[in-house]
Structure 1
Amino acid sequence: MGHADRVGEFRGLAGSYWSLRPVCGGTEWEAEPEHLRAADPAERMHAETARCNARSRGEVL
């Protein structure tokens, strides 16, 4: 499964890869830095809203 549509938070380095965690919580994944870009404001807001909604449903802490 690809992660092209995910907004992730940088968690650390894993060799030459970056470890990322979905903003809404979930399983971390690794990606090559050259395949990543900063989320634009709309993408970030969508991810943060999804996280707040999941939190209100008790799905994430």
Structure 2
Amino acid sequence: MPGETVQPNPRGPAAVPVPGTLMVDTSRDDRLGEFRGVAGPYWSLRPVRGGAGWEAEPAAVRRATRKERLHAEIERWNARSRGEVL
């Protein structure tokens, strides 16, 4: 599955996810988003179905579970079938 590998984090021992990896921001009621990159001390995430992104503290972000990733993919497929632009 895309986004399952990681890149070394130049700031320390933790690994920075590959862009596109689905992540959960635990500081925002477990909000699911795609990892977009590093913005200073924060990680940039954007909603799976598009829209405005946000920045999160890396310590408050975890990888999405298999169930969460599947749910996100189903949401994408449903949105595309309705002709929504993502």
Give ranges in structure 2 of 5+ residues lacking alignment. 1-26
TM-score (norm 2): 0.62
TM-score (norm 1): 0.83
Query: Which structure 1 residue ranges, 4+ long, deviate > 2 Å from structure 2?
Result: 2-6
* Structure that is richer in strand per residue: 2
Deviation at 1:3, TM superposition (A): 3.2
Larger radius of gyration: 2
Deviation at 1:60, TM superposition (A): 2.1
* RMSD (Å) for aligned C-alpha atoms: 1.5
Q: How does 1:5-24 map to 2 (within 5 A)?
A: 5-24=30-49
* Structure that is richer in helix per residue: 1
Q: How does 1:43-58 map to 2 (within 5 A)?
A: 43-58=68-83
* Residue 28 of structure 2: aligned partner: 3
Give ranges in structure 1 of 5+ residues lacking alignment. none
- SS state at 2:34 partner: strand
Deviation at 1:4, TM superposition (A): 2.5
Larger RCO (CA under 8 A, 6+ residues apart): 1
